[in-house]
């Protein structure tokens, strides 16, 4: 089983923008979310853990590492999407500057129409070696992958065979867990967007 875990809330100045590959820190609330996540993960066993190298992911992992999770294998390919000219802009600024509804960002990535950004095809090509390494190395095992919202959506699209734009139908919350059962060549979504800090009464 794959546990796809998003990093916790980022510092306030980067909330509500296309942060992408800006290497930002967690907010105070983000550190609280990370602590709640660590407490929840402490009751579960993992054979392996993979993580993005970005600061917000490493800070999310810090309290969990004190609770005895496996030492993470850092995969640079798990970095967040590069949003090109949208990087650092709010949704309203994207609408004003480019005349595009920012809520359609997955569709825009799929079409490759965000100037200077990774297309969905480029993101998939970046993530494919990571996913192959993880699945091939741990058949039948429980593996955690701690990364980013855009990366989690693309991994789900790849595993489930869905268009990336279809993943706009649900949220991937800060410090949330999404589980996918992988058997042979078949994937099944087991749990979606479960946030311990919110859903276990810790927030």
Query: Among 32, 80, 110, 173, which one carries the catalytic annotation?
Result: 80
Catalytic residue among 7, 9, 118, 173: 7
42 assigned to active site: no
Task: Look up the pTM and report it.
Answer: 0.95
Q: What is the DSSP letter of 9?
A: P
Q: How far apart, in whole angstroms, are the C-alpha atoms of residue 4 and residue 10?
A: 18
DSSP for 21-85 reads: T--PPBPHHHHHHHHHHHHHHTTS--SEEEE--SHHHHHHHHHHHHTTPPPPEE-GGGSPP--GG
Question: Total structural domains in the chain?
Answer: 1
Q: How confident is the model at residue 94 (pLDDT cuts 50, 70, 90)?
A: very high
Whether 7 is catalytic: yes
Q: Residue 193 has which token pair?
A: 């967007």
pLDDT on residue 127: 98
User: What CATH number does residue 15 fall under?
Assistant: 3.40.50.1240
What percentage of the chain exceeds 90 in pLDDT? 90
Full residue range of the structural domain in which residue 108 is found: 2-177+185-199
- How does the average pLDDT of the chain come out, rounded? 94
pLDDT confidence tier of residue 203, bands split at 50, 70 and 90: very low
């Amino acid at each position: 089983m794959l546990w796809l875990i998003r990093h916790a809330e980022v510092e306030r100045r980067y909330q509500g923008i296309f942060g992408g590959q800006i290497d930002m820190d967690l907010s105070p609330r983000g550190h609280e979310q990370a602590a709640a996540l660590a407490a929840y993960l402490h009751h579960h066993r993992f054979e392996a853990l993979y993580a993005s190298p970005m600061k917000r992911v490493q800070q999310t992992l810090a309290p969990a590492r004190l609770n005895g999770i496996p030492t993470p294998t850092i995969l640079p390919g798990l970095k967040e999407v590069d949003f090109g000219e949208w990087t650092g802009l709010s949704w309203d600024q994207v609408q004003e500057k480019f005349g595009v509804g920012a809520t359609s960002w997955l569709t825009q990535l799929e079409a490759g129409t965000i100037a200077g950004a990774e297309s969905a095809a480029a993101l998939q090509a970046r993530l494919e070696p990571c996913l192959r390494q993880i699945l091939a190395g741990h058949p039948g095992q429980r593996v955690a992958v701690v990364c980013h919202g855009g990366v989690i959506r693309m991994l789900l699209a790849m595993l489930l065979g869905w268009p990336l734009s279809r993943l706009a139908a649900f949220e991937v919350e800060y410090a949330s867990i999404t589980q996918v059962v992988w058997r042979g060549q078949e994937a099944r979504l087991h749990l979606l967007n479960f946030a311990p800090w919110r859903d276990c009464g810790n927030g």
